[in-house]
Copies of this chain bind each other. A is one copy, B any other.
Amino acid sequence: MTDRALLPTGLEDVLPIDAQHEASVVDHLMHTFASMGYDRVKPPLIEFEDNLLQGSGAAISAQTFRVMDPVSQRMLGIRPDMTVQVERIATTRLINAPRPLRLSYAGQVLRVKGSQLRPERQFTQTGIELIGSDAHAADCEIILLAHEALSKAGVKNLSVDLGLPALVPAICEDLNMDQQTREDLRMALDRKDAASVKALGGVAANLFAQLLDSAGPASHAIAMLKKLDLGGKAKELRERLINVYDLVKSQAPALSITIDASENRGYEYHTGVAYTYYAKGARGELGRGGRYVAGSGEAATGFTVFVDSLMRALEKPDTPEKVFLPFATPSQEGARLRADGHIIVNGLQEVPDEQAEGLRMGCSHIFLNGNIVALSR
């Protein structure tokens, strides 16, 4: 037999008061999303694996647990991500719902292996999708709503990084660059390896070097990007980024924004502006999103929160106050205290010292002779 306390690597029991804290943070996020008309959907934990692995799902195929379904005799996957599922709902079951369609979701996802940076294999994921609009206002809505949701959840010193992951591929396409050079160049750009970028960039070596240099605070980046000699698709992408940035800036002048138009990593299926949120001092991304094309061919954008990273960025909550009710306190007294918002803990048997018992039970207060009295050690 396995030691009962032993859990597989990367899986954990979340204990009081952390489990409550996480639930309440997710609740706050969902409430903020709902206030902008994002309606909640709840896809199943498992479904046919080929449906799970479409579109952006293909990238995490190797991270998907699979089980045989004795009912259908087919392979099912345990979802490693919910965004593919929500996009599936939008483009099948809700294909006739009016556009733009706003959906929100929250749930658990599982991964086969953790990484060194994130050893966890189960995550809470929550987010929003906005399907059927190509407008800059749609990007702006998502960027500002994500910012508001994270701020209201308690994150301090938030900043958003805007990216344009399709830009480098578009420039490479214009240059008719061969596949191997493209890949090497993209990796060099992601590593911020200026020397390799220059070596690989060919006739556009200067352009790529300038692109790399443009990464940083938004005003600097926008000024530099405007100077780049771009054509065709790349030029359109730059216009989109600048327009979205201007709109966001006009609605939220105080927002801390950086721009890195050279980065690709993890955004392979994004077609327009991508957004990544960070908090000063917190490890890793708190969430990310961006524009993509849904399975239905519709323009779409969305944002997903990595709740584990978010929780690490938040202060630990205070232990809630609890009022101990000595054994045989009339039940209507307890009901009254709870109606007033108190958490009560019933004594279940007579004890010699009720105050000591309240303390032992971890209560901050005791109900004595009709009064709430603080307990002190």
Taking beta carbons and an 8 Å cutoff, which residues of A are in contact with B?
Answer: 1-2, 4-17, 19-20, 22-23, 27, 30, 34-37, 39-48, 50-51, 54, 65-67, 69-72, 74, 76, 78, 85, 88-89, 91-94, 98, 100, 102-103, 106-108, 110, 112-113, 121-122, 133, 135, 137-138, 141, 144, 251-252, 295, 322, 327, 331, 334, 338, 342-346, 348-349, 360-362
Residues in B whose Cβ lies below 8 Å from that of A138: 348
Instruction: Say yes or no: A41 contacts B12, CB within 8 Å.
Output: no
Residues in B whose Cβ lies below 8 Å from that of A36: 334, 338, 343-346
Instruction: Say yes or no: B70 contacts A41, CB within 8 Å.
Output: no
Residues in B whose Cβ lies below 8 Å from that of A135: 348-349
Report Cα–Cα, A37/B345, bound state, in Å: 5
Residue of B nearest to A32 (CB): B338
Report Cα–Cα, A110/B43, bound state, in Å: 13
Least CB distance from A82 to B in Å reads 11
Least CB distance from A195 to B in Å reads 38
Instruction: Say yes or no: B67 contacts A4, CB within 8 Å.
Output: no
Instruction: Say yes or no: A42 contacts B13, CB within 8 Å.
Output: yes
Q: Which of B35, B89, B361 contacts A344 (CB 8 A)?
A: B35
The 17 sampled A-B contact pairs (Cβ below 8 Å) are A2-B50, A7-B48, A8-B48, A8-B71, A8-B72, A10-B71, A16-B39, A23-B42, A35-B338, A35-B342, A37-B322, A65-B67, A71-B112, A108-B108, A135-B349, A141-B346, A141-B348
